[in-house]
Amino acid sequence: MARLTIRQAHPEEADRLTAIALAAKRDWGYPDAWIAEWTPQLTLTPAYVREHAVFLALEGGGPVGFCALVEEPTCWVLDHLWVHPDAMGNGVGRGLFTHALEHLRDRGPRVLRIDADPNAVGFYERMGATRVGSVPAPVAGTARELPRLELGL
């Protein structure tokens, strides 16, 4: 495995970040209709990258994942954490999550909220987050809920 580096993402990398998010979501085997409905939420814009803390993970100089943090009045939100399927299982997610926590140290609200894809809950629990509830997340006429997790900072 090449050395993992994490840096602030640049607005002109928004399309690359979007491609990673879509590839990761597709890797979980969701129906195409669901992916199509989620595409707007998984699409990052240059403005989004400028306005939020967005970090890009690189291995061997190539992008392999990213995460994004959004500050709300009472908490931070892990708005995105995606790892390209080719890099899954190599510590990229752990590296990004750890980097996000380090970034948040001594910054504002002391809670990180995560509305997690059900496939990612185990990862976040291993990272120390605790389930605190769920939020409705219907897709393509199908009732769904996303587990909500929190982690004290």
- pLDDT, the chain, mean: 95
Alpha helices in the chain (DSSP H): 14-27, 32-42, 46-51, 92-104, 121-126
Query: CA-CA distance, 5 to 111, in Å (whole number)?
Result: 25
Read off the pLDDT band of 2 (50, 70, 90). low
pLDDT for residue 1 is more than 60: no
* Four-way CATH pick for 4-152: 3.40.50.720, 2.120.10.30, 3.40.630.30, 2.40.170.20: 3.40.630.30
The pLDDT score that the predictor gives to residue 107 is 83
The pLDDT score that the predictor gives to residue 108 is 74
Pairing mode of beta strands 62-71, 53-59? antiparallel
Which residues are within 8 A (CB) of 32 and not within 5 positions of it... i.e. 6 or more apart? none
**For the chain, percent of residues with pLDDT exceeding 90:** 92
Task: Report helix angle 14-27 to 32-42, nearest 10.
Answer: 150
The pLDDT score that the predictor gives to residue 78 is 98
Pairing mode of beta strands 111-115, 76-83? parallel
pTM: 0.94
Q: Where in the chain are the domains?
A: 4-152
Q: 114 near 80, Cβ under 8 Å?
A: no
Q: Per-residue pLDDT averaged across 33-52, rounded?
A: 97
Model confidence over 124-140: pLDDT tens digits? 999 999 999 999 999 99
